Every structure is written in structure tokens, then in C-alpha cells.
Structure 1
Amino acid sequence: MPGLGFRACGSLTPAPIRSGIPEHGRIPKYYAVKARISLLLDELGEGGLLPTERDLALQHEVSRETVRQALRELLLEGRLRRQGRGTVVAGPKLEQPLSLASYTEGVRRQGRRPGRHLIGLERFPCPAPLAAEIAVAPGEPVWHLERVLLADDERVGLESTYVTVARLPRLDTEFDPDSSFYGYLRERLGIAFGDADERIETVLATPREALLIGTPPALPMLLLHRLSRDTEGRPVERVRTLFRGDRFSFTTHLGGGDEGR
């Protein structure tokens, strides 16, 4: 079929997709440059230093603005990353499973070192909308735990966790904010997770969020909302997590009995 190409999708078998060439056959100049630079990235390998915009413009006989547009898209796609004053080839995206596994477990499975940097742990009266979600009375004290997510010391996300003070009264003194919150709940308090509701959407970070994560405000983010419950069906936590769209993808497993396709 004309206009189709093949691209590998993670560890899945390559599947046919449209190659990006419009049906009328006219390719935007920046897109042609982007395709050539993509081949160069494969040659350089992870961590390879990209030539300067000026050198790329001379090599491909285009303006620096055309090169800049191609590089912007490759940065947004996670193929490149800034390092100091240069640009280098980025590694593969982190795959976070959509399951009741912690961020720590997901990152370790990929051979990366997980970490977290505490932004704040505060106690405040629960507002009515949050109270309805976690099944408490409005005004009941809740904890707000906010941490930057790290992978090999690279800032990759921002996590906000809300839990009731009644259930975790000593969170501020017992919990190590650099460690796994799920590990603390399971191992220290004996709380077993039953199920959870999750919703994912694409957003742009606020100026404050972008500053904490260390990304430009225009970088797309993956926003995950999670409400977790224990084995008795009681809400345990309400989590809002921003993941860098250029560094993360989400995976899940669908059983053979799934219907409605």
C-alpha cells in the first residue's frame, strides 16, 4: 500500500503506519531535515553529541530556523535532550506500567535508579471535592506530600499524594520522603492495596511545575490521576502525578477476553 512504512513500537513487532508523507507528496522542508537528523541519531547512539544548529544548517543547505523546528520536534518526542550548552541523543523512554505497582518498582525493572526529592509535606483541612473522593468529611485533616520524581538523578515528574491524617497520623515522623510510599504503606503499616481508578490526560505544566521538574513550559506532560483503595474497598490515597511526555510512556496488559473492540 503506498504511503505506508514500518516503525518499531517498543518491544512489539513492527506495525505498518503512515510514514508522515502527505497524500499530495509534498514534504515540508523541516520534516525532511528531521528525517535525516533521525538517521544521524541512530548512528550517534545514546549520549552522542549532536552537531550545532549552524553545522546542521550548512550540511543540509537550509536555514537555521528550519533546523531549529526539526530539533524542537525531536526534543518533544524525547529523541534528544539538552545537556549543558549542547544537545545529545536521549535514551529510550521509561515505561511505567498501569498497575498497582509503585513508581520505584517500575523504574528499577528497567535498570534505572529511582529517587525522589521532597518539595513539601503539609497538613491542611480537606476541601469538599477531595473529601468526596476519599470518603471523609470536609475539613478533616489530610496530608499533602509533594515530591519530584527522579530516574538516575534526572528529574522526570512531579507527584502529589493526599492521604488522611487519621489513617497515617505519624507520616511526618515515620516516613522517609526519599523512599517508596507504597513500600511504607505495605511494610510498615500492613496496608494491602485492592484496586484503583486511573485517568490519564495530556496537559502543559504550570510555570511552577515546569520549574520544579526543570522543563520548558511548552513541553507536553502526561497527567495521571489515581484513587487507590485497600482490600476492603476503603480509599487509601488520591494521587496526581505529572510525567514528562518526552521521557515516559505507559504500558498495560489486556487479556484475551477483553471485549468491545
Structure 2
Amino acid sequence: MTGNTERELATASASVPAQVRTVREPKHEVLRRRLLDLVEAAEAHQMLPSERELMQRYEVSRVTVRRAVERLTQEGRIYRVQGAGTFVAEAETISKSLRLTSFSEDIRARRMVPAGTLLVMERVPADVANARDLFVEPGAPLVHLERLRTADGVPMCLENVWLPEHLVPDLLDAGEPDSLYDVLDRVGAAPEAADQTVRATVVDAAQARLLKVPPQFPALHVERLTRDARGRAVERAVSLYRADRYDFHFTITRERHP
């Protein structure tokens, strides 16, 4: 690939029509897209150029390179091995970052096609756990969906979701939505933040049949409580992910004490 200066990276962003863009695209985002071309042309687990090599090749700052690489890492497109380098990730492995995204958004970001099978869509009274987490009275009507989610036709997870019916009163009549987050956005309850708990587990026989894995296969049990911008609880989800196809990526820092 030919070299590109920081000025050229900025020009690439500025070339977007003014009526389309409202803010000039950051240099690290333009570089991320350039590096994504490099990733897509490489084989899985192939080593990428070092940070210094990227700085020299694209004539950008270390900060620009680090931010672009961090974004690609969060998106699951690359992974880093301490002391060894940065490598291209397997396209089939979905790596979940700290960003609040839907299953469909995660899958599309990895050039895969999301789909699913609706197993259950019903009105149910809130039990103790759902009433507590969704801040509704016990017995209040909730919309419950159970779905088998797939990526390129491969089963990835079993998902159970509960939403307060007063937020989505027409959902049952409208039928299965393409995206629950889009539905919540349209009714003024767009997901803004979530508390999430992940633990290791194994699948039972019924779950194994749906996920097309052997019984007792390793899985990730994920519970999530989602809130909108006003702090309202808008969704409770309990999902079971195949551990061989999904992982969760976190960047953590150590607090230094004087």
C-alpha cells in the first residue's frame, strides 16, 4: 500500500459532501478504515505491521495509530498478544466490547448476516426478578421474546428479552421486529447504558439442539439490564452464547495510588 500523510487522511474525510457530514471525521477514524482494508485482505492470525511501521507508512502520530488500532480491537477485527504483536482475528468469532450494541449491529460489523428464529413472543406478568429489575409492579404486563440468533446461518445464541408493555404497546400486534433497539428508539426509549453480568456455564440438551452443539458444551450466560437516557429500565435480557463463537473483550486499567 502507498504512503498517506496526515493531511491526505484529513482530506479523505473532508471529501464527504458538506450536506452529509456535520463534523469532520477524526484522523484516527479515517486511518481505522484504511487499516480495515489491510485487515480484510489478510489471512486470519496474520501479524499486522508494528505501531512504528504504521506511523511511518501513513505518516501519522502515535496517538492516531493507537486510537485506530484500539477501535479495531474493540470491534473484534484484530487482537493483540503482549510481547508478540497485533494479529487479524477470525472473522467467525464475535468479540463483544464495552460499547452498547445490539446483536445485529455486532454481526453486521463483522461482515456477516444476522438473522434469527422467533421461538416465543407473548405477554407475560412480571415475576419477582423482572418486576425488581424493570421497576414495575409484580404482575405488570411485559412483552417476552425468545429468539435463536444466527450469523451467516450459524447459531450463535439463545436470547430471552423482557420489555415493559407500556413502552411498546403495539409490539405484539406488529409482530417480530428486525431490531428491538430500533423499536425502543422510535418510542423515545433508545438504549443508552446497561449493566451486564457474564458467567461461564454449559448448555443443556434442549439448548444444545438449538445451538447445534453437544450437551454440556461450554457457553456464556449473559444477563443485561438496559436503561434509556432518562435512566428508565427499558429491557432485561438473558442470553446464552456459544463460547466457541463469542467472546467479550474488555480494556481495563490499574488505578495508581500515590
Regions of 4+ moved over 6 Å? 7-10
More strand by share: 1
Contact 1:131 1:138 in 2 (8 A): yes
What is the aligned residue count? 179
Alignment identity in percent? Answer: 31
1:118 alignment counterpart: 118
1:250 alignment counterpart: 248
The TM-score normalised by the length of structure 1 is 0.62
Partner residue of 1:14 out of 59, 78, 81 = 81
2:69 alignment counterpart: none
Query: Is 1:259 matched up with 2:255?
Result: yes
Contact 2:168 2:184 in 1 (8 A): no
Q: 1:151 to 1:108 in 2, by over 3 A?
A: same
State the alpha-carbon separation in 1 of the partners of residues 247 and 98 from structure 2. Answer: 10
State the alpha-carbon separation in 2 of the partners of residues 13 and 97 from structure 1. Answer: 14
Unpaired runs of 5+ residues, structure 1, are 1-6, 18-89
Match of 2:168, SS? coil
State the alpha-carbon separation in 2 of the partners of residues 236 and 102 from structure 1. Answer: 14
2:171 alignment counterpart: 171
Contact 1:94 1:107 in 2 (8 A): yes
Q: Which amino acid aligns with 2:104?
A: T
Unpaired runs of 5+ residues, structure 2, are 1-45, 48-72, 85-89
Query: Is 1:216 matched up with 2:202?
Result: no
The TM-score normalised by the length of structure 2 is 0.63
Q: Which amino acid aligns with 1:113?
A: V
1:32 alignment counterpart: none
Match of 1:129, SS? helix
Partner residue of 2:201 out of 180, 200, 203 = 203
Q: Which amino acid aligns with 1:131?
A: A
Contact 1:222 1:245 in 2 (8 A): yes
Contact 1:96 1:103 in 2 (8 A): no
In the TM superposition, residue 141 of structure 1 has moved relative to its aligned partner by 1.1
State the alpha-carbon separation in 2 of the partners of residues 234 and 91 from structure 1. Answer: 35
Q: 1:133 to 1:209 in 2, by over 3 A?
A: same
Contact 1:196 1:227 in 2 (8 A): yes
Q: Which amino acid aligns with 2:172?
A: D
In the TM superposition, residue 119 of structure 1 has moved relative to its aligned partner by 0.4
Q: Cα deviation per residue 1:35-67 (whole Å; 9 max; x = unaligned)?
A: xxxxxxxxxxxxxxxxxxxxxxxxxxxxxxxxx
What does residue range 9-48 of structure 1 map to in structure 2 within 5 Å?
11-15=78-82
In the TM superposition, residue 245 of structure 1 has moved relative to its aligned partner by 0.4
In the TM superposition, residue 12 of structure 1 has moved relative to its aligned partner by 3.4
Q: CA RMSD in A?
A: 2.5
What does residue range 1-261 of structure 1 map to in structure 2 within 5 Å?
11-15=78-82, 92-177=92-177, 179-186=178-185, 188-254=186-252, 259=255
